Structure 1
C-alpha cells in the first residue's frame, strides 16, 4: 500500500448559487449551494474573513510576550499573543504583524520568521492566519499606541514558554493562536531550530500579498 502524500492541496467544487445574507464592518456571512462529487447539492454557510496575523514574540530569557483581553463571544478574558486583522487589501502580512506587535505591546523585533500558517475554523470560516516568530526584542521608540475598547484593558506579561505549553495541554489556555504558536515553537526548539523556519516574506497562497 502506498503511503499518502500528506499536504493540503487546492480544490474547488462547483457552486451553482451564492448569496450574502449579512455583511458586517469586517466579516460577513456567505451561503453557497455546492455541487457534491455525486451530483447532489448541499448548502454551506460560512463566515467570510479578511485573514489575520499573530506574533509569538520570544525574548532572550525564553519567555513569550502575552496579553490578556476580554473576548465577548466566549465571555472570557483570555491570554493571547499579539494579533490583528489583515484589513488593508494587499498588505504584506509581515508589516501587519510588526504593526500589531507595536500597537499591542510597544515592542519591536529584529528577527522575524514564519512559524506556522493555519485556517482557524475551515468548516465554518475562510479565515487564514499566519503566525510569526519574532526574536531579538526591544522596546519601541516614541509614545505608546492609544488603545480603546477591549484593548484599553490589556494586561501584559512575559511567561516562560514551557509554562504556556503546560497551560495549553492542561486546558487552562484556550486562544487558538497562542496554543498553536507555543506548541509549534516548542517543536521548533526541540527540532532543527528557528533558522530552519521559512523566511518572513515566504509566499502565502491563502492570502497573496505584494512582494
Structure 2
C-alpha cells in the first residue's frame, strides 16, 4: 500500500453555479458514480489559502485572535490569507500575510504541511509554512479594517499550544494542523528536513 493521495476525476454530466460571492462560489455537479448512478454534489469553490506558523527564538508561536462570524467566536489563529490571484506563488502570499497581520518578516521558510480543509464540501487547499528567524518588518504597519481591526496578537510556547489543542481549547484548523504537525515532526526528528518553501503544490500549481 502506497501512502499517497492520487488524482482522479469522475465524470460530470451537468454543472451549475447557483451562487457567486466576492471570493468564493457554490457549484452543483451531477457526478456519475461507479455503479452508473448520478449523484448531485454541492460544494464551495475556493481560491486556496496559505498560513504561517511563525516560530521565534524562544520557541513561541506568533498568534492572533480574530472574530469569525460563521462560528460566532473569537479564535486564536496563525497568520493566514487567501491566494489573491490564480497561480500566485504561495510563499509570496504567506510573506505578505505575515507582514500585513503581524508586521513581521522571517529569514527561514519551509513547507510544514498541505491540507484540504473540508474535502467533502469545499475544494479549499491550504499550504501551511513554518517560518523562523523572525524580526520586525520595515516601514509602516499595514492598515487593517473590519474584523482585522479588532485583532489581538500574542506569542505562546509551542508546548503550551499542543496541550491547549488536545484539551479542546483551540479550534482553528490551520493552527491545530500547524502546531501538531511541528510537534510530530520534532518527535520524529524531521523538523530540519521539511520540504523547501518552493516545493511543488499540485493542488494549487504556481509560478516560481
Which category describes the TM-score, using the shorter chain as reference length?
A: over 0.9
Partner secondary structure for residue 194 of structure 1:
coil
Indicate which of 15, 19, 33 corresponds to 1:18: 15
Backbone CA RMSD of aligned residues? 0.7
Distance 2:158 2:189 in 1: 17
Give the CA deviation at 1:193.
3.7
Give aligned pairs, total. Answer: 208
Partner secondary structure for residue 192 of structure 2:
helix
Give the CA deviation at 1:195.
2.1
Structure 1 residues 24-67: Cα deviation after superposition (integer angstroms, max 9, x where no partner): 00000000000001100100000000000000000110100000
Question: 1:138 corresponds to which residue?
Answer: 135
Partner secondary structure for residue 201 of structure 2:
coil
Q: In the TM superposition, what are the counterparts of 1:47-196 in structure 2 within 5 Å?
A: 47-196=44-193
Distance 1:191 1:159 in 2: 22
Distance 1:145 1:121 in 2: 30
- What TM-score do you get using the length of structure 1 for normalisation? 0.97
- For structure 2, the 5+ residue unaligned runs are none
Distance 1:92 1:6 in 2: 27
Which of structure 1's runs of 4+ aligned residues deviate more than 4 A?
none
- For structure 1, the 5+ residue unaligned runs are none
Whether 1:206 and 2:203 are equivalent positions in the alignment is yes
